[in-house]
């Protein structure tokens, strides 16, 4: 399929992404009415601890599969699958040890661990299926799985099951995806492999920069909740968790196209077509996200009170501090897709990730010692916003200078 045909047929994926965001958001509105900030905080901490090991060990084989040519895939499919099987075993054994040492060993952590363990196999299958550009069926599978898992969680909390529904939902989602793949005959025939350390070394050679970038991203996403718990308490983590979820809603609505479909398109398009579409994507993101920031800045407090209720009032102040996430996260991730498609992730790590972490660290120290902010959670939120803002501006400047093209 041509790049233009890919864009035309990606409408179902975009609609599916929007639908999933709406379903998740609606389900969350029900959950916050019945669960406390502390219960959400504990969930965020357990999720961070249970998935931290996967963040280090996942070599992002799914990205390699999507961007590979047919010949490259045929030559490497055994290496990819051998690594996936090795990773599954490692995550189960290592995950049990890790959650035990973290002090959160129990049924809740085990449910999350099971979801983590089966995740790589599902991602492997979905990547193979996505190569066939079966966006319509993929959309149905993902939308159906999201609707069922979130609906069951909402129904469970209405029936008085309590916070356990948060953990059951995490496991239910991949199980429904597996069922969906079977129903759509999306399971690809798997190669026969022999376990060998060469599988891991061969995959690592191909994905080391993607792995490093993914590790930095995933570890950060988990570490901020562990850090928030250190800076505050479980209730503070719960407030931060909900504020961050709200801050990424605009990104979730744009993400199906601005990252997933964009990556597939850029991997197949000619350089001129790449830049033409990429400039348009960035421009649309700037306009859409600026509008979202305007709405949240002036109406965020009323929105939080209307959606969550008075017990979640502190979320509004944290949400304002996270407006930098609203404004820049999608742009930041579009650049990530651009550099992955160019097979030059090293550039993104240097100009994107490094500038983000340096800006975040300096901002945190600046706010901590130069401003009289009583809330460490607010300091963390402002620092994350500044980090994404500075990193995105550096990426935009680099792109403009290197291509000599204007975003217009």
What pLDDT was estimated at residue 9?
Answer: 54
Residue 308 CA to residue 239 CA, distance in Å, equals 11
Which is more confident, 2 or 19? 19
Q: What is the mean pLDDT of residues 338-343?
A: 84
- Is residue 141 one of the residues assigned to a domain? no
Quote the pTM value.
0.80
Q: Is the pLDDT of residue 196 over 70?
A: no
In a domain, 267, yes or no: yes
List, for residues 94-139, the tens digit of each pLDDT value: 888 877 887 778 888 899 989 988 888 888 888 888 777 677 788 8
Q: How confident is the model at residue 205 (pLDDT cuts 50, 70, 90)?
A: confident
Q: Tally the domains of the chain.
A: 1
What pLDDT sits at residue 383?
A: 95
Least confident of 124-128, 133-137, 292-296, 346-350: 133-137
Give the pLDDT of residue 408: 47
Q: Is residue 357 part of a domain?
A: yes
- pLDDT above 80 for 238: yes
pLDDT for 331: 93
Q: What pLDDT does 406 receive?
A: 47
Domain that holds residue 341: 232-408
Mean pLDDT of the chain: 84
pLDDT at residue 310 tops 80: yes
Whether 259 shows a pLDDT value over 50: the answer reads yes
- Let me know if residue 380 belongs to a domain: yes
pLDDT value of position 319:
95
In a domain, 81, yes or no: no
Most confident listed range (44-48, 56-60, 68-72, 354-358): 354-358
Token couple for 225: 């909740």
Q: Is residue 403 part of a domain?
A: yes
């Amino acid at each position: 399929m041509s790049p233009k045909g890919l864009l035309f047929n990606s409408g179902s994926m975009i609609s599916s992404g929007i639908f999933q965001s709406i379903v998740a958001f609606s389900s969350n509105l029900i959950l916050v009415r019945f669960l406390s900030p502390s219960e959400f905080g504990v969930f965020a901490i357990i999720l961070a601890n249970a998935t931290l090991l996967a963040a280090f060990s996942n070599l992002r084989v799914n990205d390699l599969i999507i961007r590979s040519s047919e010949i490259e895939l045929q030559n490497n499919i055994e290496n990819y699958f051998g690594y996936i099987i090795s990773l599954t075993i490692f995550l189960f054994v290592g995950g049990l040890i890790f959650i035990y040492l973290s002090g959160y060993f129990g049924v809740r952590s085990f449910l999350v661990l099971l979801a983590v363990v089966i995740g790589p196999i599902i991602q492997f299958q979905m990547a193979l299926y996505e190569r066939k550009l079966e966006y319509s069926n993929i959309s149905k599978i993902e939308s159906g799985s999201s609707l069922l898992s979130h609906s069951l969680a909402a129904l469970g909390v209405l029936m008085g099951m309590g916070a356990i529904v948060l953990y059951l939902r995490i496991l239910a989602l991949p199980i429904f995806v597996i069922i969906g793949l079977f129903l759509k005959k999306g399971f690809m025939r798997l190669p026969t492999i022999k376990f060998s350390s060469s599988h891991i070394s061969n995959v690592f050679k191909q994905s080391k920069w993607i792995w490093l970038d993914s590790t930095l991203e995933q570890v950060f996403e988990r570490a901020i909740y562990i850090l928030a718990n250190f800076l505050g308490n479980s209730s503070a983590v719960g407030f931060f968790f909900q504020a961050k979820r709200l801050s990424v809603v605009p990104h979730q609505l744009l993400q199906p196209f601005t990252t997933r479909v964009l990556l597939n398109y850029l991997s197949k398009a000619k350089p001129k077509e790449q830049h033409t579409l990429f400039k348009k994507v960035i421009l649309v993101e700037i306009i859409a996200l600026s509008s979202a920031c305007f709405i949240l800045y002036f109406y965020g407090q009323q929105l939080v009170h209307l959606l969550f209720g008075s017990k979640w009032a502190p979320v509004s102040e944290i949400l304002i501090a996270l407006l930098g996430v609203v404004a820049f996260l999608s742009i930041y991730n579009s650049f990530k897709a651009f550099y992955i498609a160019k097979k030059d992730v090293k550039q993104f790590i240097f100009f994107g990730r490094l500038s983000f972490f340096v800006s975040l660290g300096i901002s945190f120290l600046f706010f901590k010692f130069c401003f009289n902010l009583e809330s460490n959670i607010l300091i963390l939120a402002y620092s994350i916003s500044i980090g994404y803002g500075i990193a995105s501006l550096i990426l935009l400047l680099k792109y403009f200078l290197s291509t000599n093209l204007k975003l217009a």
